A and B are shown apart, each in its own frame.
Chain A
Amino acid sequence: MTTAAISAVPVRTGGWRSRLRRRRPVLNVVLALIAIFWLVPSIGLLVVSLRPESAFTQSGWWTVLTAPSRLTIQNYTTLFSQGLRPGGLLDSLITSAVITVPTTILVTSLSSLAAYSLVFGRWRGRDAVFLVVVALMVVPVQMALLPVASLYKLFGSATGFNPFGTVVGVVIFHVAFGLPFGIFLMRNFYNGIPRDLLEAGRIDGAGEWKLFRRVVLPLGVPAAASLAIFQFIWVWNDLLVALIFLGGNAHAPLTVFLFDQVRELASNYWIVSTGGIISIIVPLIVFFSFQRYFVRGMLAGAVK
């Protein structure tokens, strides 16, 4: 058992830790260099987005170190001033949110429900079903793209609403593919809840739904938070599904927007870099705010 955060620290300190962390100047320097190297590519993108478009091919972005006054947020203001027109940056930001938020809510709630059933329910085939869920975690998204598209078309001809090409279609797809991992994570966590708690409730006459809502769900908040945050970032950053189901649509999420810009890279670098930075900022904020939860979610056997 461990505090699965980036800053995991063992319980016993004193002798062991101080022995490990004695003065090692060389190591510190080497790791500092590595850390700088790791940051440089991202900083590069940031700086490029802060330079006027013309400066792009004239000189490398690193020359800005000697001339910091040349930085400008002109690129950002241009993009944002374009407002909410379809296909623009702001519009794709909103589209990303419209896709990601419902998906996250649905995945978290449905996974919790299913996990409850798999842990506290007693019905035949329960364990087999869980094994199936685990197996489904590795199914590649590509396998489902075409069949689901035709499924949508079928649905459309039957009910008049074809989810293909709509945000709803994307959300449904993401929810389905987020469920295996979500159920896996929640089930593991629920397993650690002592059965006695529910037995006490059952003796009091509480039904399953009440037990779920009043006992298990509140206790499961840490795991649900981890799942939500992990799922949020995952769906926010998805490209393939959005490309297939919304490609060509007037409203596209950020990743598709960026992808379109990258294809015309030479002249569009100011858009690419600025859009890139903006697409990074939302996950970055979520990450830093909920670091512990995100890492815990990732470490729970992330197999995606």
Chain B
Amino acid sequence: MLSGRTFGLRRPSTARAVAVPVPAPDTPLGAAPLAMAKQPGGGGGWRSHTGSLLFILPAAIFLGAIVVYPLVATLVRSLFDNNNGSSFVGLGNYKEIFATDDILIGLRNNVIWVIVFPFTVTFLGLVFAVLTERIRWATAFKTVVFMPIVFSLTASALIWRAVFDLDPHVGMVNAAVQTVSDVFNPPGLYPIDKSAGQALSNLASTNVAATASATLQSTSTVSSGGVAKLGLVGISPFTLQMLNAQKVQVPSAASGGVVGVVWRDFSPTHVGVKGTVFPDEDGLPGLHVSLLRSDGSSAATATTGLNGAFHFDNVGQGQFHVQVDSSNFGSGFTGISFLGTQSITPTASLSRTAQALLSVPLVDIAMIIAMLWIWAGFAMVAIGAGLASLNREVLEAAHMDGATEWQTLRRVTIPMLLPVLIVVFVTMLINVLKIFDIILNMPPGTSQQDASTLALLIYNTGFTANPATGLASALCVLLFILVIPAMLLNLRRIRGT
């Protein structure tokens, strides 16, 4: 395009930048260090662009009023009393923090969270990131695992509250445990609800009594050719319906054997009359019964039919008792209280304060699992991005050097990922120090106190009835002190060191 006289070597074009440049997007997990901000972009130093100072004004007002000022105000407030803040108490509030058991419990929980969670979630994220590199459907997997982040913590809390619910009909975990437990310890058809205060003796009505071995035994004896009638009460009609119980029918005596019936001693037409077998009463099916000799040994076993009848054949000589076996009344698995305050460390015998400091309640573990479910996706994606940005050629060089996949991972990949891992770790650490929504919504009321953390304590102390503002402010300051190390780490990173 150049024409005319142009001597000398061609000079590079000084035309204006054309087209739209693509600015380097924010590097993942990092900031352009401050050094970059001082680009020599022409224009000379004499021109200082103060025009844009106004631009930062709105943000500055918001930040000043809502973040900076309160920060200082809270600090100041923590040094004053709990009522209207007029009298100066110095470090009194802080002393109170460490003297109150309930608060210590909160701090202990914070410690548990800090020790367990950041490390675990980073580790999990690393494992997932590394594994998903090796499958073809990585995007689908990552989406599934990442998704819980967009749920509100409240929604996630109630999801997991349901998962860990005590009732095996509601809680998936307990349901799974129950399935296994039922193999070894199956419930009977007529389980006793101990939690409702029911005892075996409540079931005995006519000719039966509860024994020490959790069975119901006939009070009178029978012998060959006899008929035994055992009456029970406290059986729900629902159970009868489920078992398809028929109306009771007393079988006729059989020579050489013992027959009988176990029935529900309740007649709607003859309310309150015990001991007689009325035709409108129900038989109790499916009961395992045994014929006991006088020495207690079992001579024969049988199961009651739909109308409650049973029979033993060729019983031989002697007097026998009829026993309704204990297996009928077993409640089987009743559920583990994952959201309860049972500690997994053996602290039951310690003093109250020691207990407060050293217990690790189950509910904490349950909540940590819920948080892992929420945040592992973030760790995985962040570390995955770090993995993808690694220089492929370095990994290939390791391959050429003879490193196996595992050796490469351990000695090259992970050390190179260290900055990313640290950022994830610190981010999760800060998250966990401030944790609130989960603690508020997941543990049932009975576990709330044992599960509380600093953030919850602040809420309870400062924002419920009878707020103790000085104490709450002190707790806020404590929380702030805890996050300061993370703040310093961030600042160091930004500075480009």
When chains A and B are docked, how far (Å) is the Cα of A113 from the Cα of B60?
11
Name the A residues within 8 Å of B384 (CB-CB): 6, 8
Q: Residues 185-211 of chain A: 1 if any B CB is under 8 Å from the residue's CB, otherwise 0?
A: 101111111111111101000011100
- Contact flag A276-B52 (CB < 8 Å), given A35-B144, A240-B459, A301-B29: no
With A60-B172, A142-B476, A300-B29 in contact, is A197–B150 under 8 Å at CB? no
Does chain A have a CB within 8 A of B440? yes
Is B42 a contact of A4 with CB atoms below 8 Å? no
Residue among A60, A143, A151 making CB contact with B170, cutoff 8 Å: A60
A34 contacts across to B, CB distance below 8 A: 141, 145
A-B contact pairs, 5 of them (CB 8 A): A2-B389, A41-B160, A139-B483, A191-B36, A199-B41
Q: Is A101 in the interface zone, CB < 8 Å from B?
A: no
User: B residues near A, CB below 8 A?
Assistant: 16-17, 20-21, 23-32, 34, 36-37, 39, 41-43, 47-56, 58-60, 62-63, 65-71, 73-74, 77, 131-136, 138-155, 157-163, 167-170, 172, 175, 373, 378, 381-382, 384-385, 388-389, 392, 395-396, 423, 426-427, 430-431, 433-434, 436-437, 440-441, 444, 455, 458-459, 462-463, 469, 472-473, 476-477, 479-480, 483-484, 486-487, 490-491, 494-495
The residue among B378, B385, B436 with the most chain A CB atoms within 10 A of its own CB is: B385
Give Cα distance in the complex from A7 to B431, angstroms.
Answer: 25
B490→A138 contact, CB < 8 A = yes
Interface centre among B43, B135, B139, B150 (most CB of A within 10 A): B150
* B152 engages A2 (CB within 8 Å): no
Do B155 and A280 touch across chains, with their CB atoms under 8 A apart? yes
A296 touches B25 (CB 8 A): yes
Is A28 part of the binding interface, using a Cβ–Cβ cutoff of 8 Å?
yes
Cβ of A31 within 8 Å of any chain B Cβ, yes or no, is: yes
| Contact among A42, A113, A172, A179 with B55 in the assembled complex (CB-CB below 8 Å) | A113
Known contacts A198-B41, A237-B153, A239-B436; A31/B385 CB under 8 A: no
- A123 and B49 contact, CB distance less than 8 A: yes
Stretch at the interface among A51-59, A64-72, A74-82, A86-94: A51-59
- The residue in chain A whose Cβ has the minimal distance to the Cβ of B143 is A6
- A127 close to B141 (CB less than 8 A): no
CB pair B49–A122 under 8 Å, yes or no, is yes
* Residues in chain A near residue B154, CB distance under 8 A: 237, 239, 255, 258-259, 262, 279
Asked if B168 contacts A139 (CB within 8 A), the reply is no
User: Which A residues from 110 to 159 make CB contacts under 8 A with B?
Assistant: 110-111, 113-114, 116-123, 127, 129-131, 133-148, 151
| Chain B residues, CB < 8 A from A173 | 66
Any B CB within 8 A of the CB of A228: no
CA distance in complex: A244, B463 (Å): 7
Mark interface residues in A269-304 (1 if CB within 8 Å of B CB, else 0). Answer: 100110010011001101100010011101111111
Q: Is the CB of A44 within 8 A of B162?
A: yes
Taking the closest CB of chain A, its distance from the CB of B39, in whole angstroms, is 5
Whether B157 lies near A233 (C-beta < 8 A) is no
- A contact residues around B155 at 8 Å (CB): 45, 237, 258, 276, 279-280
A246 at the interface (CB under 8 A from B): no
Which 7 pairs, one residue from A and one from B, show the smallest C-beta to C-beta distance?
A: A195-B41, A176-B66, A192-B23, A237-B152, A147-B70, A121-B52, A144-B70
Contacting residue for A139 out of B67, B172, B388, CB 8 A? B67
Which of B143, B146, B159, B480 makes the CB contact (< 8 A) with A44?
B159
B71–A116 CB distance below 8 A: no
Pick from B51, B388, B491: contact of A135, CB under 8 Å: B491
Q: In the complex, how many angstroms separate the beta carbon of B71 from the nearest chain A beta carbon?
A: 6
A46 shortest CB reach to chain B, Å: 10
- Smallest distance from the beta carbon of A184 to chain B beta carbons, Å? 7
A82 to B52, CA, bound (A): 51
- Which residues of chain A are near B441, meaning CB under 8 Å? 239, 259, 262
Within the complex, the shortest CB–CB distance from A57 to chain B, in Å, comes to 6
Q: Report A-chain residues with C-beta under 8 Å of the C-beta of B395.
A: 16
A139 touches B66 (CB 8 A): no
Task: Give the contacting residue for B25; candidates A4, A113, A147, A176; CB below 8 A.
Answer: A4
Give the docked Cα–Cα distance between A239 and B441 (Å): 10
Instruction: Contact check, B157 vs A262: say whether CB atoms are below 8 A apart.
Output: yes
Q: Tell me which residues across on chain B come within 8 A of A164, comparing CB atoms.
A: none
Whether the Cβ atoms of B440 and A239 lie closer than 8 Å is yes
Contacts A127-B34, A195-B41, A287-B147 given; indicate if A200 touches B169 (C-beta within 8 A): no
| CB-defined contacts of A114 to chain B, threshold 8 Å | 55-56, 58-60
Residues of B within 8 A of A113 (CB): 55-56, 58-59
Q: Evaluate contact between A233 and B55: CB separation under 8 angstroms.
A: no
B385 to A8, Cβ gap below 8 A? Answer: yes
Query: Which of chain B's residues have a CB closer than 8 A to the CB of A146?
Result: 70, 73-74, 77, 462, 469, 472-473
B26, B55, B487 pick with most chain A CB within 10 angstroms: B26
Residue contact A41 to B431, C-beta cutoff 8 Å: no
Q: What residues of chain A lie closer than 8 Å to B65, measured between beta carbons?
A: 148, 151, 176
In the bound complex, residues from chain A placing their C-beta under 8 Å from that of B25 are 1, 4, 189, 192, 222-223, 296
Please report which residues of chain A, range 222-273, place their CB below 8 angstroms from some CB of chain B when the two chains form the complex.
222-223, 233, 236-240, 244, 254-255, 258-259, 262, 265, 269, 272-273
Asked if B172 and A62 make an inter-chain contact with CB atoms under 8 angstroms apart, the answer reads yes
Contact of A136 among B63, B139, B145, B433 (CB under 8 A): B63
Residues in A with CB closer than 8 Å to B476 are 140, 142-143
Contact A21 B150 (CB under 8 A): no
* CA distance in complex: A173, B77 (Å): 20
Whether B385 lies near A4 (C-beta < 8 A) is: yes
Asked whether, in the complex, the Cβ of A212 is within 8 Å of the Cβ of B55, the reply is: yes
Interface centre among A35, A259, A303, A304 (most CB of B within 10 A): A303
Contact A197 B21 (CB under 8 A): yes
Q: Which residues of A contact B47 (CB under 8 A)?
A: 122
Instruction: Known contacts A42-B147, A143-B74; decide if A117 and B32 are in contact (CB<8 Å).
Output: no
In the assembled complex, the Cα of A301 lies from the Cα of B41 at a distance in Å of 27
**In the complex, are the beta carbons of A299 and B382 less than 8 A apart?**
yes
Partner of A192 from the list B24, B140, B162, B389 (CB cut-off 8 Å) is B24
In Å, the complex CA distance between A147 and B153 comes to 25
What would 20 more interface pairs be, CB under 8 Å, given A41-B163, A118-B56, A280-B155? A8-B385, A35-B145, A38-B144, A42-B147, A110-B59, A122-B50, A143-B74, A143-B476, A147-B69, A148-B70, A179-B63, A193-B21, A208-B55, A212-B55, A222-B25, A262-B157, A265-B158, A276-B155, A298-B381, A304-B431
